Amino acid sequence: MWYTRRIAAGRIVVMSVSMTGCSGLRQAAVLLGRMGSLFAEHLTPSAHWIWVFIMGGRTISETAVIDGSVNANIHTTLLVSEDPPLDQKTFRRSEQRRWQFCDTQDGMGGLCDEYNPSPLPLPTPPGLKHASKDALKDVPVIVTAGVRHQYLYHSLSTILSAAGVHPNNILVALGDAPKPTRELLGLLGMKYTILPTYGDGNKKLFRYYKNVFQLILARFPKAQNVIIIDEDVEVSPDFFSFMSQTMWLLQHEPTLYCINGLGRPQGVAYNSSKVLRGEAQVSWGYAISITFVQEALSIWLQAPDDLGSQYDFWLYLHVAKGRECVFPEVSRSRHYGTGINTDGFITEKYFLSSPLEKESGIQLPTTNRLRLTTWRQDLSASLQTATVLEGNPCSPAFLPRPPTPATFVFYVNMNKNPDGRPDISDYFPVATCLGAWGLSPVGLHEGVATFTVSFNVTLHVMGVPFSSYAHLRHPRIKPWALEAARNEEKRIVEAALAQNSRLVIRNLNLTSGDLIHKLITESFERGG
């Protein structure tokens, strides 16, 4: 869907699926149907399908083999006329370079839209109105990139249009540097450097990001902080505003090591001015201090070069050393791409569903309360006055209805693992049923996760006995544990978790006859 929406009008598109791919179309099938496909919404999981069409125009050919149990060859003849090429002489030099690039590339969105092309160079947005002093003036912004130039263009477009950006501070670090990527950066007038890479998979990425950290230290030794954004991360118009108001914490609060742009998923993200702290990896659009870069390299350079670790999780385990990160409730950055470590289900549920703040210049009135001493004071006070919730966290009746302004606390069983980290076995179903991330301790502050579950309702989930705040628990209330739940309650939890991850396959038993009948019926309904 991401690529299809960015194909230039008038291009010929050949779309093909062979064996089992159709079960993954889901909402994309609806989009393809709206674009003119007859078959997309009716395909069986094992169908062979090919659709040849003109973007924004008519279908040239579409056919399908419903029972694709064997290989199938599909032949179609394309009779197309070729429009005369754009007269390059009518364009100034930069525009000539653009259309030469677009002759061989697609999926570039507005860059290659012949009817309403995006401006080149991209206009610089205004500065930050609320800042008496520009905290980002000397902060380098490193964009990590490689072969996915369609992603890179989209990400750079959001970065360069966010208020408070300093284009001259941006440096693109290319791990792989194919010609299209270099041509794109030339069109945009972006500075870039090429880093040596070798190997494949996470081993290659682990070495690449180590080289990125070395580049930062070599190029910007006098900087205090650095912002790092991957090529498949889009940023909010408020991204640099958020960073400018929180980055000071990296020098003044030793219990923090990063500022993340990624916030909460949909359903637990309401308050744009709310900022939290807790356990986290550096996450897709983040800031760290140069001091932390130095710390990381002192360990990284001694690590075996063939580690297959994910670099962000490795930093969290081996360099963060218990320090936490700051992150917004409503995201200022969003990971949208697919790659080596992308799981489709997790990407759709937690990342693509995360609301991205659309406004800019949002004031964050309480960033001084993010220091550990004051954060503990505020959280302790909130926990002591919160109304205790009991019951099944996956039940529809768990949260009071209708929601009224209130703060609740829910106790969940959470023990300490041998490595000192929390055992989140019972926390996982609670977070999942709330629609929050529960696959790791990310977001927990000393065993407490704080969620905004509606516009005016806050819910603290406290892990007992792990949490340092566990002494505030009402002694008569036992922490919830799935193993101790009644059978009926377990069934509700299991059903909720299954619903959360269930794969529903439409058209599972559709036959060719069924499909012909459906198409005839739809044709009559449309009056055709």
pLDDT digits 0-9 by tens, 242-278: 999 999 999 999 999 999 999 998 889 999 999 999 9
pLDDT digits 0-9 by tens, 181-197: 999 999 999 999 999 88
Do 43 and 29 form a contact (C-beta atoms < 8 A)?
yes
Q: Which are the contacts of 203, defined by CB distance < 8 A and separation ≥ 6?
A: 306, 307, 308
Could you please report the per-residue DSSP string of 153-200? HHHHHHHHTSTT--GGGEEEEESS--HHHHHHHHHHT-EEEE----S-
Superfamily of structural domain 141-360: Spore Coat Polysaccharide Biosynthesis Protein SpsA; Chain A (3.90.550.10)
Q: Residue 94 has what pLDDT?
A: 65
Q: Which of 74, 36, 31 is nearest to 54 (CA)?
A: 36
Q: Is the peptide bond prior to 355 cis by the omega test (within 30 degrees of 0)?
A: no
Q: Residue 201 has what pLDDT?
A: 85
Distance from C-alpha of 238 to C-alpha of 249, rounded to nearest angstrom: 18
pLDDT digits 0-9 by tens, 146-177: 999 999 999 999 999 999 999 999 999 999 99
Q: Residue 80 has what pLDDT?
A: 65
Q: Which of 3, 302, 355, 334 is nearest to 151 (CA)?
A: 3
pLDDT digits 0-9 by tens, 227-238: 999 999 999 999
| Antiparallel, parallel or unpaired: β 324-328 and 256-260 | parallel
Beta bridge partners of 409: 388, 460
Distance from C-alpha of 323 to C-alpha of 254, rounded to nearest angstrom: 8
Distance from C-alpha of 462 to C-alpha of 483, rounded to nearest angstrom: 18
Do 239 and 162 form a contact (C-beta atoms < 8 A)?
yes
Is it the case that residue 514 has pLDDT exceeding 90? no
Radius of gyration, alpha carbons of the chain:
26
Count of other CB atoms within 10 angstroms of residue 322: 9
Count of other CB atoms within 10 angstroms of residue 218: 8
Helix (H, G, I), strand (E, B) or coil at 367: helix
Distance from C-alpha of 354 to C-alpha of 336, rounded to nearest angstrom: 10
Q: Residue 484 has what pLDDT?
A: 79
Distance from C-alpha of 239 to C-alpha of 233, rounded to nearest angstrom: 12
Segment 418-438 mean pLDDT: 89
pLDDT digits 0-9 by tens, 200-222: 888 899 999 999 999 999 999 99
**C-alpha dist (Å) from residue 182 to 34, 37, 147, 170:** 35, 36, 10, 15
Q: Which of 383, 511, 518 is nearest to 447 (CA)?
A: 383
Do 272 and 362 form a contact (C-beta atoms < 8 A)?
yes
Helix, strand, coil shares, percent, the chain, to 5? 35, 20, 50
**C-alpha dist (Å) from residue 417 to 84, 420, 422, 426, 460:** 68, 5, 6, 13, 22
Q: Residue 500 has what pLDDT?
A: 63
Q: Which are the contacts of 223, defined by CB distance < 8 A and separation ≥ 6?
A: 138, 139, 140, 290
Instruction: Cite the residue boundaries of each domain of the chain with CATH code 3.90.550.10.
Output: 141-360
Q: Which are the contacts of 270, defined by CB distance < 8 A and separation ≥ 6?
A: 329, 330, 452, 454, 455
**C-alpha dist (Å) from residue 437 to 63, 280, 362, 509:** 41, 11, 25, 35
Dihedral Cα 493, 495, 501, 506, nearest 10 deg = -170
**C-alpha dist (Å) from residue 145 to 49, 176, 248, 274, 408:** 33, 7, 27, 31, 43
Helix (H, G, I), strand (E, B) or coil at 449: strand
DSSP structure class, residue 351? I
Distance from C-alpha of 214 to C-alpha of 293, rounded to nearest angstrom: 8
Q: Which two tokens stand for residue 234?
A: 């889009």
Position 419 confidence tier, pLDDT thresholds 50, 70, 90:
confident
Interaxial angle between packed helices 149-160 and 179-188, expressed in degrees from 0 to 180 and rounded to the nearest 10: 20
Q: Which are the contacts of 75, defined by CB distance < 8 A and separation ≥ 6?
A: none
Q: What is the mean pLDDT of the chain?
A: 88
The amino acid at residue 26 is R
pTM of the model: 0.90
Segment 103-120 mean pLDDT: 90
Q: Residue 75 has what pLDDT?
A: 72
Q: Residue 307 has what pLDDT?
A: 74
Is it the case that residue 479 has pLDDT exceeding 80? yes
Calculate what percentage of the chain has a pLDDT beyond 90.
Answer: 55
Between residues 500 and 496, the one the model is more confident about: 496
Position 69 confidence tier, pLDDT thresholds 50, 70, 90:
low
Q: Residue 230 has what pLDDT?
A: 96
Question: How many angstroms separate the first and last alpha carbons of the chain?
Answer: 28
Q: Minimum mean pLDDT among 113-117, 412-416, 470-474: which range?
A: 113-117
Q: Residue 91 has what pLDDT?
A: 61
Q: Residue 57 has what pLDDT?
A: 87
Q: Which of 202, 188, 231, 270 is nearest to 453 (CA)?
A: 270
Is it the case that residue 86 has pLDDT exceeding 60? no
Greatest extent of the chain over all pairs of C-alpha atoms, in Å: 82
